[in-house]
Amino acid sequence: MIEHIFQRKTTINCRGKLIDLSTPKVMGVINITPDSFYDGGQNNTIEKAIKQAQKHLKEGATFLDIGGYSSRPDAQHISEEEEINRVIPVIKELHAHFPNSILSIDTFRSGVAEQAILHGASIINDISAGELDPNMLPTVAQLQVPYIAMHMKGTPQSMQENPIYNNVVEEIIYYFSKKIDEINQLSINDVVLDVGFGFGKSIEDNYQLLNQLSAFKLFNIPILTGISRKSMLYKPLEITPKQALNATSVAHTIALQNGSNILRVHDVKEALECIKLLVLSKNT
């Protein structure tokens, strides 16, 4: 296997701070949106966002992911100006209140990403891997910050309109083989891969990806998993997102066993418990 020939990259450089992902880390979500599927409206003021960030950091989050554009299926499209007005004041305040924290900007727009980095963010988390903004990858190359590239079929408005794959794992591996080559040609040094659970995938596709997540280790770069409280967990169980914490922990455990390096979550404490127990089981 390729992964046995080449050393797998397990570090990313965040403004001079080298983060070792050989032990998985947690990214706490802070959505500055009124309509996100789980926490819409809960953190859409600076005061609420600071309180949530403090909670995430106290519970052990390594990263905080700030987003102002809801990417749930059929979410309302907003302008770049509105997205900037939502996220930049929050990033400024979070950077001022928690100067040692590592902030990630969740956006597919290069203009939003650039402003966020200028005001204190250290990572760009792009649900489209540059597909929705041709200036995104050149902007990342210019800024030289870690870049999370996620696979999505379509757009947030269209992605769940009957997505079809012949073999979802093989097709996304092929997609990333081309995408990572494009990224490497631009000399972007720190890349994280995200298969995009729920973004243009059926429930069956999501579970195939979860069970075969280790296949993506062949790229020898860190893997982020964003599966927290998603419909692939609560719909089969006929529960709500608010009731899906236990299901999320089960899915996180599977993802970790299959090679995930970062868990992007709404519930930091419980995700870290999954990591700690898995590390303990491997070291015993």
106 φ, ψ (degrees, to nearest 5): -95, 95
Q: Is 264 a catalytic residue?
A: yes
Tell the residue number behind the tokens 């203009």, with chain if given. 111
Q: Are 70 and 44 in contact (CB under 8 A)?
A: no
84, two tokens: 């900037």
Residues ≥6 apart with Cβ < 8 Å to 181: none
CA–CA separation, 213 and 64 (whole Å): 23
- Which residue of the set 8, 235, 264, 282 is catalytic? 264
Q: Are 265 and 27 in contact (CB under 8 A)?
A: yes
154, two tokens: 């379509």
Which of 268, 266, 13, 46 is CA-nearest to residue 122?
Answer: 13
- Which residue of the set 179, 217, 229, 230 is catalytic? 230
Catalytic residues: 230, 264
